Structure 1
Amino acid sequence: HALGLGDRKIIMRHILPNAMTATLSYLPFILTGAISTLTALDFLGFGMPAGSASLGELIAQGKQNLQAPWLGLTAFFALALILTLLVFIGEALRDAFDPRS
């Protein structure tokens, strides 16, 4: 009990804001890694069942059908946009919840 404060006050005032900042700002990066991993596994044929709608499956179909490049390019740009937006969301959350600012 520092300076007569109870455990609850110490947790709510000091520990929780710092833990919340780290957790919430790291979450979009975890999602980015999960989406990238699932897309790579689907592209290689180890992910979801064949015929399932996924970006990796669409990229694989684009690789097989080179005469229709929009299949692979659309999936690639959609994946790039999703991952970029998640990174921007993570940075914005980090800035918004930073207890030092």
Structure 2
Amino acid sequence: MRTNQSSQEEVEKTLQSITGIERASPNPFFLTRVEARLAARRSAPGVTTPWAFRPVWVAASLGLALMLNVSAVMYAREALTQDDQEQETVSLSAEWGFDATVMDW
């Protein structure tokens, strides 16, 4: 019973402290500044950059192009290496008189 009465007193104190509060008023030029910002946003829709030119997309695109170029160079290098090895094998087998396709040990 005691806690109920003390909580009621706390509620009454809180409500009475609220009655003295005045309503907040904005600065005199607040509405003018807000209207000016809204007008500026409406009048300049083309100021934003398209999504393709944002730094994240530019970096991702450049990374992808670099990765594709490196993989193309690696593929070409490996293909040339295999051709060189085959030519070397054929020339050595012809020089020594072996058939390049038959390997009989």
* TM-score, normalising length: structure 2: 0.32
Per the normalisation by structure 1, the TM-score is 0.33
Larger Rg: 2
Q: Which has the higher contact order (CA 8 A, sep 6+)?
A: 1
